[in-house]
Structure 1
Amino acid sequence: MELGPPGGSGPAEPGPRLRGLRGADAAASASSLSRFGAEAGCRASAVAAVLPAGGSGERMGVPTPKQFCPILERPLISYTLQALERVSWIKDIIVAVTRENMETMKGIIQRYQHKRISLVEAGVTRHRSIFNGLKALAEDQPNCRLSKPEVVIIHDAVRPFVEEDVLLKVVTAAQEHGASGAIRPLVSTVISPSADSCLDHSLERARYRASEMPQAFLFDVIYDAYQQCSDYDLEFGTECLHLALKYSHIKAKLVEGSPDLWKVTYKRDLYAAESIIKERISQKVCVVMDTKEDEEHVGHCLEEMLKTELNHVKVTSGQDLQQIILEQCYNFVCVNVMTSDFEETQRLLNMVEESNLSILYPVVVISVHFLDYESVPLGQKMEKVMQIREFAKEAKKRNILLSGLLIYFPQARSPRITCHTAWSSVSTLRGWSRPLQLPGGTEATGKFKARHHHYFCLNQRKKFWTHWSTTGSIKNMEEITCCVLRNIPQSISFVLPYKLYMVEC
């Protein structure tokens, strides 16, 4: 048995270790532990998880085993490990991988700072891999360095969207009944063909369910079942609940699972998983302001507009920023009103870097700057604003992707009207808004659509792109070159490399 990084059996922390930022997660963990103790009646240290990850990806038709296939440049199995690590009462996570992929798995653990992970060598079949994982927790095995749990969760390495409430339900049911598993309604009717490939009979779909993961067992129940298991079952079996019934005479309690428990099996599932992850990390945004103002302040106006499109919007002047980063927000709009300099943006980027937040997902920061063109010449301030480019290049190396937006407006213009321009521009850059409306009410098509994979860039002559006004009309069309950014990897094409865009009010 090979162990993960030092401290692998320490307290659970979601994702990377956030330096000095523990408040919300500590409270959430305490709440989960309290619920677990009350509902399941056992110690938090009594639960472990086993993940078989020895598959070859044959059905997916790619040379890389599917558990190591990248989603947004990060291996699929890393998302599953993160989902389990968020659950503080799971004390150990055993991953069974093949000998040839052992170093790859160690590299993933180190790069993404996964905790509480132990590695064992996978068997030639799924059941043999699970059995090897259980042996790592069994007291009767030589060189066992982990304590035996009361309950063990068995989950698939390629089911990344498991939530804590489902895990809690199956563990609680396993404590009461000895075994438990998540189920879902059948999507298609199951039929039995005859020897000549004709219909023999079909099952009544309403009476049957699809067996899903996670499943949970009293450790002694499932370990004893595997010890008695026949070679045929170890070689050809696929259902752990059946082994508990056949060899330990335990009827598993079936728990209704969520729609997100599906398994990444085919290549198209990778694209579906990527879309879900993008959606999850895009629907929460923090607006950071460099000043506290009244409700007419552009930051507050922007908050109202963002809330019409997104589920979770938070506006802060900076005092709550550490807490928001701790809650794993990956999208920031930094509004610089008092100055065209980027002190507030720099401070935000420094905090994001120090938190290690960008290890797991790319962090998007849109830095918005306001200039009064009636009192401040554009050329006078542009040099300072453009200095952020070098800072952005360094930030990109840490998976922080930065865009700049310059709002060039007269002081007499209403903050609310100015903010409409900011909202249109920011939401289009990030891909939140609906398609842009061209003059005459015609909807922009193709390269003008604000979608995750279509964005705008500066023209080849390096002139600034003058965007549209609050009325929706586009100015200086001859100066605009719009194109898909094909020079960046598809996996991060929903975010921008640093460019500065100018918008006139």
Structure 2
Amino acid sequence: MEPGGCDAGPTVKAVAAVLPAGGSGERLGGATPKQFCTVQGRPLVSYTVRAVERVSWISDIIVVVSPENIETMKSIIEKYGHKRVTVTEGGITRHRSIFNGLKLFSENKFSNHLLQKPEVVVIHDAVRPFVEEDILLKVVMAAKEHGAAGAIRPLVSTVIASAADGCLDHSLERTKYRASEMPQAFLFDIIYQAYQQCTDYDLDYGTECLHLALKYCKTNAKLVEGTADLWKVTYKRDLYAAESIIKDSLSQQICIITDVKEAVVQVGFLLHESLRSQIKVETISISLSKRDNHLQNIFSGQCYNFVCINDKKYATEEIQQLVDMLEESNIPLLHPVVLISVHLNTSENASFSIDLEELTKMKKFAREVKRKNILVYGLLIQYKDYFPLQETVNSAAALTMALIKDRNPELTGQLVVA
């Protein structure tokens, strides 16, 4: 379990999750179903699987996809190293897909091996990537007590009904109603029995799982107030919003790496002080060739932004060492990593030039490592008596924040000047 997590183990024997991911994405537009659209280079469904997967007390995760996307989903699981995940074929509607997912726990013909039947099963949309463990725990515990539970949110807009002539018939009092969200949770036997008894009409035209539990098993679901991050990616603008949220989450921490030279350490300290009001900063002064354990620990954490300061025009060897260490850590597997190579000009000459050949090498190197999901940028800082150093470092800090927040792959290999 990850730090700060909850533990439902003592009161619930086994919990599994079913993620329907068979939608065509018609409302999103485009040829790619929304669950397979990439956000920061990674399919949306992978974010959702990871959000559920990091909850250690969920034993099995079933992802239900349309037949033509079975191999695509399996390749995503393999590429991003997802665990405890089984892919199964969906039906022609949402309810039929969920039913197929549930059958993996009860009917051998739907799986090579029968998965352990859970006490509680969570149903969550594959296009709601920001679900947190806290709400999952709340609906699971409520389902354990009441048989069924689901997250809800206040209505944003008033709901109205139109008459046959297209005019207003009546409106609902917004304060009395709630929007049904995901996740939802059920005692497995209740929801499976509901689906077994479900009419073809409900399987083909229904969308609400809580309604099935009420209609066929007389189970009144407990409604649990959810958080604002439970929203569903439906339209193209939602993909942009999801990308913005993910970029923001990746921009919470930065590691500044310097060698032990006095001028470099000083600039590292000033950059640290300039950044710390905006972002969590850790600064390390090391020789990269020594494979510092502290740095290795940072690589094994949740830091996706690194600044390497040196007084060379282009520190190819040092940056390559960092890239190798990042690859070994598997950090770039899940999210793009920003690596900013800061070139510190300490020469006596007023001008500091990087010739065309060096710039070409920089761009070529950045292009190569971009394929590994590492975004390399160059940043030049002047370190001279006649330059106001603090002002220059403040400018460098602003550029650093802009680069890590934007994470623009088209700018890799560029050298910006503070």
What TM-score does the superposition give when structure 2 sets the normalisation length? 0.88
Residue 331 in structure 1 maps to residue 310 in structure 2: no
Match of 2:408 among 463, 474, 493: 493
Q: Secondary structure at the match of 1:254?
A: strand
**Equivalent residue runs for 1:28-67 within 5 Å:** 28=3, 32=5, 35-37=7-9, 41-43=11-13, 46-67=14-35
Asked if residue 115 in structure 1 is aligned to residue 83 in structure 2, the reply is yes
Corresponding residue of 1:367? 341
Q: Which amino acid in the other structure matches residue 248 of structure 2?
A: E
Structure 1 residues 158 and 418: CA distance shift in structure 2, 3 A? same
> What is the CA distance between 1:385 and its match in structure 2?
9.5
> Gaps spanning 5+ residues in structure 1: where?
1-25, 434-450, 453-491
Matched, 1:186 2:186: no
Per the alignment, residue 132 of structure 1 pairs with: 100
Match of 2:231 in 1: 262
Classify the secondary structure of the residue corresponding to 2:411: coil
* Deviation, structure 1 residue 495: 6.3
Q: Deviations over 1:33-59 (max 9, x none)?
A: 6x3235xx134xx11111111111122
RMSD of aligned alpha carbons: 3.1
Following superposition of structure 1 onto structure 2, how do residues 299-314 of structure 1 map, counting pairs within 5 Å? 299-310=268-279, 312-314=280-282
The change in CA–CA distance for 1:392 and 1:419 in structure 2 (over 3 A counts) is farther
Give secondary structure in 2 for the equivalent of 1:32: coil
Which amino acid in the other structure matches residue 412 of structure 2?
Answer: P
Which runs of no fewer than 5 residues in structure 2 stay unpaired?
A: 286-291
Letter aligned with residue 493 of structure 1: N
Find the partner of 1:288 among 253, 257, 263.
257
Question: What does residue range 421-500 of structure 1 map to in structure 2 within 5 Å?
Answer: 421-428=392-399, 430-431=401-402, 452=406, 493=408, 496-500=411-415
- Check 1:340–1:497 CA distance in 2 against 1; reply closer, same or farther (3 A cut): closer
Q: Distance in 1 between matches of 2:353 and 2:34?
A: 52
Match of 2:184 in 1: 215
Give the distance between the partners of 1:189 and 1:67, measured in 2 at CA.
Answer: 29
Contact 2:259–2:265 under 8 Å retained in 1: no
Which residue, 279, 302, 310 being the options, matches 2:248? 279
Residue 153 of structure 1: how far off its partner (Å) = 0.7
Q: Secondary structure at the residue paired with 1:160? A: coil
Following superposition, the deviation at residue 208 of structure 1 comes to: 0.9
CA contact (8 A) 1:341 1:384 kept: no
Q: In structure 1, the residue corresponding to 2:308 is in which secondary structure?
A: strand
What is the letter of the counterpart of residue 425 of structure 1?
Answer: A
Maintained 8 Å contact 1:123/1:132: yes
Deviations 1:306-347 (A, max 9, x none): 12233x332233543223222222111112259974554333
Pick aligned residue for 1:236 from 198, 205, 208: 205
2:264–2:344 CA contact under 8 A, matched in 1? no
Q: CA deviation at 1:76?
A: 1.6
In structure 2, the CA distance between the partners of 1:91 and 1:343, relative to structure 1 (3 Å rule), is same
Structure 1 residues 89 and 292, CA gap change in structure 2 (3 angstroms): farther
Opposite residue 373 of structure 1, the aligned amino acid is S
What percent of counterpart residues are identical? 57
Number of equivalent positions: 411
Deviations 1:415-434 (A, max 9, x none): xx52431331353255169x
Distance in 2 (alpha carbons) for counterparts of 1:375 and 1:72: 41
2:377 is matched with: 403
Distance 2:210 2:263 in 1: 60
Indicate which of 337, 356, 360 corresponds to 2:330: 356
Does the 8 Å contact 1:137/1:144 carry over to 2?
no
What amino acid sits opposite 2:394 in the alignment?
A: W
Does structure 1 retain, via aligned residues, the 8 Å contact 2:270–2:393? Answer: no
